[in-house]
Structure 1
Amino acid sequence: MGIAGVLLPFALGIIMLGLGLSLTPADFRRVLAHPKVTVVALVCQVLLLPALCFGLVIAFGLTPVLAVGMMLLVASPGGTTANLFSHLYGGDVALNVTLTAVNSVISVVTLPLVFNLSAAYFFPAGSANAELGLQFGKTLQVFAIVLIPVAIGMYVRARSAAFADRTDRPVRIFSVAVLALIIVGALIQERENLGEYLGSTGPVSVALLVISLGIGYWIPRLLKVDRGQAIACCMEIGLHNTTLAITIAMGILHNTEMAIPGALYGVLMYFAAAGAGWLLRRSTAHTATSTPTRSEQT
């Protein structure tokens, strides 16, 4: 096992521990208080988005490894970054926390399923990568590095909320730093083919970001979900846990090329989320200025 096989799961475990430190059982019970928006967001994220991504990778003609890398990315749950952007642009952060928590649990089943179906489609029997897949043993590794640290973090918060609060900021800083190092490492390792990857994967990543953020906001709004919750869904569905996707690709499957979509998406999503937030804030200001006040109506 290479250094990536050791450090990446460890780093992801710390990040998921940080997520657990911010969670309480009430975050899961909140699903019962807001069942409609939770179901809408999860259907978009778990069912609709993988189907759309599958269409994109075929339409753009990605190579099999990059196509499976994109499917691995889109099957990854939302990350804690969504909470930050949701807070910045007026979203329901409590809903973000709930969606991240629930989807992280669900992804232990859905991520291997989406990945294995994609691998079976893009890597036919007898091909060089036909053996790539998340069989039972590797699925257990995903379970271990996703759910066990979250459970430990929740236990620590239950025993000492003050300690959990003190460690929240350092863990978040660590998470951003680790993500940056992982992305840089993946890009450096594949630097000889980087231009080709950017040319092929870049347009798909941009298209997926626009679609993810768009359906994340507009489908809830069309279904009469309030604006703050729709913004939360927008960020949750658009911003994936790219660290998880890269860790599975490099740390478990030992395939750096498959990590490129996650690395590239991990860079682009910050700009896309900032752009989406700016548009949402601008539309709010426009609505406020165009709506006549009570004195103007009389």
Structure 2
Amino acid sequence: MTTIGLPVALGIIMFGLGLSLTPRDFTRVARHPKAVIVALVCQLVLLPAICFGLVLLFRLPPVLAVGMMLLAASPGGTTANLYSHLFRGDVALNISLTAINSVLAVVTLPLITNLAIAYFLPENDELGLQLAKTIEVFAIVLLPVVLGMLVRWWRPAFADRMDKPVRIASVVILVVVIAGAIVSNLDLLMQNAGRLAGITVVFCVLSLGIGYLVPRVLRVDRRQSIASSFEIGIHNATLAIVIAQTVIGSIEMSLPAAVYGVLMFFVALAFGFLIRGRGGEPGAADGADGADAATGVAADAAAEADSSSPSAQP
């Protein structure tokens, strides 16, 4: 399961992500640079700093501390897009953020993980992500996404047909991977369940809260703030488990992601109902920002319609 099952499962999830991406998802950020920049700063700067503080506050053992930092460095994924859709966030922004984060994670994830190992486990240099392991992370994270994008470019109709089945399969695989990680390491998990449950719930709540409140304070419209919240607050636990177990070779380091992967679903669901209840109808009170967001979505739809019309075909 560790050497073959986990990488294959993650590959399917990342391939499914690639099937939903087009080059337009990377260029769309030019329409809403403020929302993208705020979200990226929150995810790449604030979250690792907050996670580091929580690790010290909860006094986690060194290996579990590195596991938490690895989780904090992991980008969002298709689950974030699903929650954003359920609670009426700007899903187009989610897709763009996921696309950008998947590329940036090739650099930021090894960097943050190596810094955490250097701080918490300075005597275990062999656990670090050296060049060969960093290349492995690149292959795990980015190659399936690129392959999925190529399939969408080559066979767009096939990609559209496969989008929903692959999304469903991704959720099922995510659940199976997390359940497998828990069952196969149940004794080790039970020894640390109490402390891991507390810190992962607090980390998830803070991630979701920061992802929503910081953009709102900076006058980012509400739909985009909801998208930012789920993108920042829902991490790719499967990616963290795979890197911990198959790349770094530490089962114990994967436990924070396994616990987080279970509890995150419920925390994010409760948070979604909370912000929906407090804000009323998304976008209703956003004024010009809401109009700009609607214009951006309309422009995307028009571009897609133009590209698919008979007159636009060569």
What amino acid sits opposite 1:266 in the alignment? G
Q: Secondary structure of 1:57's partner?
A: helix
Distance verdict in 2 for CA 1:18–1:51, change over 3 Å: same
Q: Using the TM superposition, give the Cα deviation of residue 212 of structure 1 relative to its aligned residue in structure 2, in angstroms.
A: 0.3
CA contact (8 A) 2:88 2:282 kept: no
Aligned to 2:198: 203
Per-residue deviation at 1:286? 9.2
2:186 is aligned to: 191
Task: Mark the runs of 5 or more structure 2 residues left unpaired by the alignment.
Answer: 285-314
The residue that corresponds to 2:68 in the other structure is 70
Normalising to structure 2: TM-score of the pair? Answer: 0.87
What percent of counterpart residues are identical? Answer: 59
Q: CA deviation at 1:288?
A: 11
Q: CA deviation at 1:195?
A: 2.5
1:162 aligns with 2:157: yes
Is residue 92 of structure 2 the alignment partner of residue 97 of structure 1? no
Q: What is aligned with 1:14?
A: 12
Whether 2:114 is the aligned partner of 1:116: answer: yes
The answer to whether the aligner puts 1:27 opposite 2:25 as a matched pair is yes
1:292 corresponding residue in structure 2: none
Normalising to structure 1: TM-score of the pair?
0.92
Which is worse superposed, 166-175 or 266-275?
166-175
Q: Is the 8 A contact 1:68 1:258 kept in 2?
A: yes
Shift of 1:193: 2.7
Q: Which whole-Å deviations, capped at 9, do the CAs of 1:212-248 have from their partners, x for residues lacking one?
A: 0100000000000000000000000000111100000
Letter in 2 for 1:101: A
Which one has more relative contact order, counting CA pairs under 8 Å at least 6 apart? 1
Match status 1:54 vs 2:49: no
* CA drift at 1:32: 1.1
Q: Which residue does 1:141 correspond to in 2?
A: 136
Supply the distance in 1 between the matched residues of 2:111 and 2:280 (Cα, whole angstroms): 42
Aligned residues: 285
Give the match for residue 272 of structure 1. 267
CA separation of 1:288 and 1:242: change in aligned 2, threshold 3 A: closer
User: How far apart are 1:250 and its partner, in Å?
Assistant: 1.2
2:9, 2:177 within 8 Å by CA — same for their partners in 1? no
SS of 2:126's equivalent in the other structure is: coil
Structure 1: which amino acid aligns with 2:83? Answer: F
The residue number in structure 1 matching 2:173 is: 178
Q: 1:288 to 1:169 in 2, by over 3 A?
A: closer
C-alpha deviation, 1:267, in angstroms: 1.0
Q: Letter of the 2:22 partner, please give it.
A: T
**Structure 2 matches for 1:180-259, cutoff 5 A?**
180-259=175-254
Of 80, 83, 88 in structure 1, the residue corresponding to residue 81 of structure 2 is 83
Matched residues in 1 for 2:175 and 2:81: separation? 18
Structure-2 separation of matches of 1:288 and 1:30: 20
Matched position secondary structure for 2:142: helix
User: What is the alpha-carbon distance in structure 1 between the residues aligned to residue 3 and residue 281 of structure 2?
Assistant: 50
